[in-house]
């Protein structure tokens, strides 16, 4: 689907006539909620009338920033794509309204953003990574009539299964002395103790979140993590980084995956916090599911297995565009 000449590339980069030209593609979108109307931040890059991808970031409560690796791959492939900070995240409004941090409301937020951006079943690809993947699954199960394609990256369709994987696979493989210290701090609810994060970084993050020395993590990743809104993250995910214990703890849509009819790509990685075999199984449950495996990657395999990740993601879009599914 990559266009072949500079004239067409110029069209991809031409923002004239767009209502977001003044702001370089940025648009603040009003979102109606039970607590009033708030604004969420989006940024469009490029033009492609048939392939437009909305990116749902992880967290909940992170920002779009750690997804900026897309800038190295999507423009040359001439896919139009949208960064988007969900309500409560740094670039969007951050209301002090705990009752808004509920999965069904986030689904309706995505639908309002879709409408405001003019995305529809002829062009709309929804991408979600981690929590964004959970949100993407939930959106598809309610609104798949609006989708052309779906991407679920680094997310299992069952939080109980994720917790079981952490307990039976990840934790036994950790340094047991470090794990005991982590568990002790968690039992004491001493999550703000600097030692808690030090242990997680040294014995968990650099093995399963992003397999690079921590001091070498890409700047967009560090920037996003530094902006995490714990007022959104903790109620939904829970305090512990070795499993989920918040409002999402019982979320499980595995039995419903067969209802997803649109072409769907499930992405898993060997060293992920999520079970790569489970994510492969998910692709087999979906009617037009496909699986991308990143053998050297972790939870952020768009960085530590970048070539495999983006080549597979772009090929999926090409296949949908060419009608191969």
Catalytic residue ranges: 130, 272, 299
Handedness of CA 54, 135, 169, 279 (dihedral sign): negative
Provide the H-helix boundaries in 18-174.
74-77, 103-117, 131-143, 159-165, 171-173
- Distance CA(162)–CA(232), nearest Å, equals 20
The token duo for 261 is 């009819």
What φ, ψ does residue 278 adopt, rounded to 5°? -65, -40
Q: Which residues contact 107 (CB under 8 A, 6 or more apart)?
A: 135, 138, 139, 142, 143
Is residue 254 classed as helix, strand or coil in its secondary structure? helix
Q: How far apart, in Å, are the Cα atoms of 202 and each of 175, 213, 217, 234, 307?
A: 10, 9, 13, 22, 26
Cβ(132)–Cβ(56) below 8 Å? yes
User: 45 is written with which tokens?
Assistant: 């890059």
Any alpha helices (H) in the chain, and if so which ranges? 6-13, 74-77, 103-117, 131-143, 159-165, 171-173, 176-187, 194-200, 219-226, 230-237, 276-285, 301-304, 306-321
Phi-psi region at 231: left, alpha or beta (left = phi > 0; alpha = psi -120 to 50) = alpha
């Amino acid at each position: 689907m990559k266009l072949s000449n500079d004239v067409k590339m110029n069209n991809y980069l031409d923002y004239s006539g767009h209502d977001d030209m003044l702001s370089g593609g940025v648009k603040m979108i009003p979102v109606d909620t039970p607590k009033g109307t708030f604004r969420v931040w989006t940024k469009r890059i490029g033009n492609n009338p048939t392939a437009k991808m909305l990116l749902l970031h992880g967290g909940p409560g992170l920002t779009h920033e750690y997804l900026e690796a897309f800038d190295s791959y999507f423009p040359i492939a001439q896919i139009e794509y949208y960064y988007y900070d969900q309500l409560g995240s740094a670039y969007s409004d951050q209301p002090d309204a705990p009752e808004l941090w509920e999965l069904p409301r986030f689904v309706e937020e995505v639908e309002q953003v879709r409408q405001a951006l003019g995305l529809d079943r002829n062009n709309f690809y929804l991408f979600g990574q981690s929590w964004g993947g959970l949100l993407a699954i939930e959106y598809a199960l309610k609104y798949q009539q609006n989708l052309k394609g779906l991407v679920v990256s680094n997310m299992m369709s069952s939080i109980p299964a994720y917790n079981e994987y952490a307990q039976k696979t990840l934790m036994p493989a950790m340094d047991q002395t470090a794990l005991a210290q982590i568990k002790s701090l968690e039992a004491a609810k001493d999550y703000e103790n600097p030692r808690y994060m030090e242990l997680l970084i040294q014995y968990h993050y650099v093995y399963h979140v992003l397999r690079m020395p921590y001091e070498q993590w890409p700047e967009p990743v560090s920037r996003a993590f530094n902006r995490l809104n714990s007022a959104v993250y903790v109620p939904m995910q829970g305090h512990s980084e070795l499993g989920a214990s918040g409002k999402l703890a019982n979320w499980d849509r595995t039995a419903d995956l067969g209802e997803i009819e649109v072409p769907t790509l499930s992405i898993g990685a060997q060293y992920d916090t999520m079970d790569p075999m489970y994510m492969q199984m998910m692709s087999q449950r979906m009617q037009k599911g496909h699986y991308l495996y990143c053998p050297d990657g972790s939870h952020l395999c768009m960085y530590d297995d970048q070539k495999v990740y983006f080549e597979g993601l772009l090929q999926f879009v090409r296949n949908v565009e060419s009608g191969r599914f």
